Each structure stands twice: as C-alpha cells, then as structure tokens.
Structure 1
Amino acid sequence: MKKPRPAADEPQPRKTIRADKAPTTGYSLVVDGHFKSHHDTVEAAEEAGMALKNRFQMLQVQVYDAENKTRSMIDWPGPA
C-alpha cells in the first residue's frame, strides 16, 4: 500500500541571480570578468573581495556598484 505524500503549500519561488547580467541594486564581486557574489554594502563586498584576493593573488577582483554602474579594482597589498 502506498503512503500518500503530504501536500506541500505553494513552493517558494527561487530568487536566481544570473551571472551573465549586471545586477540592478547593491554591490557585486567581479572575478576575472564574471559576476560572482552579491552584497548589500560596499564594505561587505570589499571584505569578501579582499579575502578572495588574499587566497588567490592571481585573480582580478573588482567591486561593481550597480547604482553608478562603476567598477573598482581590489589591489592586494602583498606580504607585510
């Protein structure tokens, strides 16, 4: 005898962020020309970018400002 499946309420729509389109709000990390992660503040985006740059110095990491449509490069300061 088969057990009835519990009827789920409306499934939550998934909020997908396409990597090939520029975001319209907030700040995003651009790694080697591709949009990667999305952040609400510039400080959070810069912190994530610096953490990535500290692990992989060869990457080109930028912070994209969706409101002004500008990019700023994250430079690795090198070993202290």
Structure 2
Amino acid sequence: MSKPGLNLPTSGYAIIVDGLVKTEFATTDGVEIGAKDLKRRFPILQVEIFDAAVQAARDVNAP
C-alpha cells in the first residue's frame, strides 16, 4: 500500500510517524529497533514501518 504524497524510499526501510516519513534505514534490524523504541517512548503516535522492496507499510504495536 503506497501512500500518496510521501517521499518514500526506493530501497531499504523507513519509519513513518503520523503519516510522515521520518527516518530511513538500510536494514530490517535497524528499522525494527528504531520503530519499537519510538513507539515505546511515545505510544500515542501512529508508527509504521515501510518496506521499499514490497512497497508496503505495516503498523508497529507498543511492546
């Protein structure tokens, strides 16, 4: 599911916070750690991980 109007990466991964691309990562481990830490610190935010290889985003739930 591609989100129109976002500067989504063409490779790697990105953290999307409340509908805006915030940080890009080259590895799965990096994006997972970053997204889960962000969600843990700010559980009210909507945090998603975007995977450029499959052009899809998935929600991150609080740990």
TM-score bracket, shorter-length normalisation: 0.7 to 0.9
In the alignment, what sits opposite 1:12?
none
In the alignment, what sits opposite 1:69?
55
Which ranges in structure 1 are unaligned for 5 or more consecutive residues?
1-19
Residue 41 (structure 1) shift:
1.0
Structure 1 length normalisation: TM-score?
Answer: 0.68
| Count of aligned positions | 58
- Flag as ranges the 4+ runs of structure 1 deviating above 2 A: none
RMSD after superposition: 0.9
Q: In 1, Cα distance between the equivalents of 2:47 and 2:17?
A: 5
Q: Rg: which structure is higher?
A: 1
In the alignment, what sits opposite 2:12?
26
Tell me the secondary structure at the aligned position of residue 75 of structure 1.
coil
How big is each residue's C-alpha offset from its partner over 1:45-75, in whole Å with a ceiling of 9 and x where there is no partner? 0110111111100001000001110111110
Q: Identify which of 32, 50, 58 aligns with 2:36.
A: 50
Which ranges in structure 2 are unaligned for 5 or more consecutive residues?
1-5
Q: Which has the higher strand share?
A: 2
Could you tell me which amino acid in structure 2 is paired with residue 75 of structure 1?
N
Structure 2 length normalisation: TM-score?
Answer: 0.85
Q: In 2, Cα distance between the equivalents of 1:23 and 1:58?
A: 25
Tell me the secondary structure at the aligned position of residue 50 of structure 1.
helix
Higher RCO, 1 or 2 (CA under 8 Å, sep at least 6)?
A: 2
